[in-house]
A and B are shown apart, each in its own frame.
Chain A
């Protein structure tokens, strides 16, 4: 190996990156857009639930309950004159749920002490429906307690749940989505970009010209690996800065551990990209393979959005060959919990094995030959 050849190849790569806007778009603009969408737009929390309220017989008691809903940040209530019109609103998507306080609500609650409230929830999105149900129940309990205190009595409850939420006390989905997103971004830069730029060299015929020079395969591979490693770490730094300063995601672990895990993951992703480039010699095919084998699994099977433990057994096994799975766990623990070594080491081991496998295949299969 000769440094002059390696630096020559790397310098060439840098010129191409700087002058070709498409690679910059993949490495920096796409992450920026993804972060903004996930940071501001996408949220798994149910907020501003549209509740259609129907009160058959308004009294002081119903008004006090409705006021409680009004105060809550989760609800955006609207009053409807009768049940049919509220149903209409639900059908047309102007309401997510109907809360119906029947005409005997006040009477029953004073006489028997237990008055039913009627809740209809749009169950198309099952997850959302469950959240709405819980929120309404929570608010209902809270109001009951307040009502009891005000009247000088106690609600007889045999067990009281006193919940504490750890690691993400505010229950902001953003706080765990964004660390996961960083894994997606690094997969993009590492695998997709590398596979594309090598395929581009085949397509344009530049690879044939390079192969007939005394350059070795290791030099060709390192010439791709090093510049895109630097670029990936750049994307990583940008994403971390945005996460911490723009979206207030806590960073409880150390920066050193964060960048250490990121380096290991990036090497794995670059290895995947190089393996793809051995198989695909056109940019179109390379992009297809990269998206199907790296980007989509990183999105679906990494536990970034969908919990791995609720997947069928066979799919759970499959997630072990998805490098992003290990990285998402490690990032979530570094950001939200701190440097939890048992978790970090176990996942680092899994990722390290994958990294060695991919880089090994790339090195063995990448030949300076056309046949």
Chain B
């Protein structure tokens, strides 16, 4: 029997000219006890599909049957059997962990006798036991996500619907979330349907559905989806220093669909089977070796032909004047909130034109460090110099030289793209002619021309991110701060974003970035790994990975390095206390 049967389902929002089709006549089946991933670019209709199956949107369809219940007629009966975790799971922040669980247990009418047992089980599974009496608002991002999952698992459900459950969560919490989900599948035979922006998560599922603009582009198991692209993927190994420029050049070659930095090499995906033809000046790095295709290759290739491709202009070659002056210097930095040390003895320096990464679990002190660097938060002690200016004495002067893109893209939703740009250039004090020039530059360079009149709040996520970047660049800052700029953004938009950041760095802009995508850490020239307010490791990506190389793990990934270094440190500090 199938857990989900959907025949000719459509869903649109708005009326008349504002009508937008979120799903166009899709059909699908999901077998009981399977794990299915929904992938696709932003605005593909993933969230709409999940909400329809949870019975909180009215479908237009020949048939929608979930766990045997036809929708929308039997929504209430269905809701007894499912668990649904929305993108922003709304925990009651004023309620404690236990009170949140009790509320959901009440709503699902769980009898008192078995309740205590079930709570204990869930609290052990999520490792939230010690925080039973803590209010949900005071938990870290990863812990909140785990509590949200625990609340949806309380009855336990027969079908679990998860909408980007791991967005904005660090690799360790993400791994914990996954082990909880997989445990449920194994022990309770739960059917899972999840949407995700992480291809490695989708690869772990039995079945993958690729949505694009409300239509199903492809579905099948991950291997089936990747199969047509066998022979398309290649790796160029042992690229020497700064692979970013090489990557930018190769991505412009005819027939190349995708190029990503992977460890010390470059991974290249071709439109047709067969190796890329490297021009003579690039052959010095050896010949690309064929590698098996993976799900991500299928994702990028399938969407490659359907989306207008943005050719990012080649960045100018960096002038090698040896101008490697440190533009950001942090020394012995501390920050206390009451008695709690959020940042402890942090020191690092960033050179001009570098891409510098800050990595760490949720609550490691990255955002606090970022805020101090931007002059938004005073430090408790230590030295902070940005663009040659001491932040303790000349905050305003330093701010004129930095650009900041926050996690939530602080844009004015009710203003149009044009008005947002105009506002931010005025805020940075750009005068008439210069303002016109910079606005024209932003619309041209970040390809926002088709959207000038649209309100920022209605832009697709990828475009919001571009606009936020444009606003931060209006005054041509020499240093750019990017706080989780790619959180929740699909793989295609992420690639485009990084191509732009590369271009900026090659042009001499220094970029500091935080991210939860470990493969993105590979784009950094150097990075620091933080945990519990301290720096654990510092250096090039290859140097950090070297630290965790072991005989049984000869080529550790960035994610391996992250998890083992942070777990070691957390255990050590727990023993110490």
Q: How far is the CA of A16 from the CA of B79 in the complex (A)?
A: 25
Assess whether A125 is interfacial by the CB under 8 Å rule. Answer: no
Assess whether B302 is interfacial by the CB under 8 Å rule. Answer: no
CB distance from B555 to the nearest CB of A (A): 41
Known A205-B89, A206-B90, A208-B86: A368·B95 in contact at CB below 8 Å = no
Assess whether B376 is interfacial by the CB under 8 Å rule. Answer: no
Known A11-B103, A15-B94: A211·B89 in contact at CB below 8 Å = no
Assess whether A62 is interfacial by the CB under 8 Å rule. Answer: no
The stretch from A187-195, A213-221, A304-312 touching chain B is: A213-221
Across chains A and B, the number of contacting residue pairs, with CB separation under 8 Å, is 92
**B-side interface residues, number (CB < 8 Å):** 38
Contact of B107 among A5, A204, A205, A207 (CB under 8 A): A5
CB-based nearest A residue for B100: A12
CB-based nearest B residue for A202: B90
CB distance from A202 to the nearest CB of B (A): 9
Assess whether B55 is interfacial by the CB under 8 Å rule. Answer: yes
Interface of A is mostly: helix
Contact of B106 among A5, A208, A209 (CB under 8 A): A5
Assess whether B337 is interfacial by the CB under 8 Å rule. Answer: no
CB-based nearest B residue for A18: B94
CB distance from A352 to the nearest CB of B (A): 31
**A-side interface residues, number (CB < 8 Å):** 30
Most buried by A among B51, B85, B90: B90
Instruction: Name the B residues within 8 Å of A211 (CB-CB).
Output: 56
Instruction: Name the B residues within 8 Å of A8 (CB-CB).
Output: 102-103, 105-107
CB-based nearest A residue for B55: A212
Question: Contact flags (1/0) for A208-236 with B, using CB distance below 8 Å?
Answer: 11111111100000000000000000000
Instruction: Name the B residues within 8 Å of A207 (CB-CB).
Output: 90
CB-based nearest B residue for A216: B76
Contact of B75 among A11, A206, A209, A368 (CB under 8 A): A368
Contact of A214 among B79, B86, B89 (CB under 8 A): B79
Assess whether B108 is interfacial by the CB under 8 Å rule. Answer: yes
Query: Do A204 and B84 touch (CB < 8 A)?
Result: no
CB distance from B109 to the nearest CB of A (A): 5
Assess whether B511 is interfacial by the CB under 8 Å rule. Answer: no
Assess whether B92 is interfacial by the CB under 8 Å rule. Answer: yes
Known A9-B106, A15-B95, A15-B99: A208·B80 in contact at CB below 8 Å = no
CB-based nearest A residue for B82: A212
Q: Which residues of B contact A (CB under 8 A)?
A: 13, 51, 54-58, 75-77, 79-80, 82-86, 88-95, 99, 102-109, 135, 148, 151-152
A sample of 16 inter-chain contacts (CB < 8 A) reads A4-B109, A9-B106, A11-B103, A16-B92, A16-B94, A16-B95, A19-B95, A19-B135, A20-B94, A206-B90, A212-B54, A212-B56, A212-B79, A212-B82, A215-B107, A371-B13
Q: Which residues of A contact B (CB under 8 A)?
A: 2, 4-5, 7-9, 11-12, 15-16, 19-20, 201, 204-216, 368-371
Closest 7 CB pairs of A and B: A8-B106, A205-B90, A206-B90, A212-B84, A213-B107, A19-B94, A205-B88
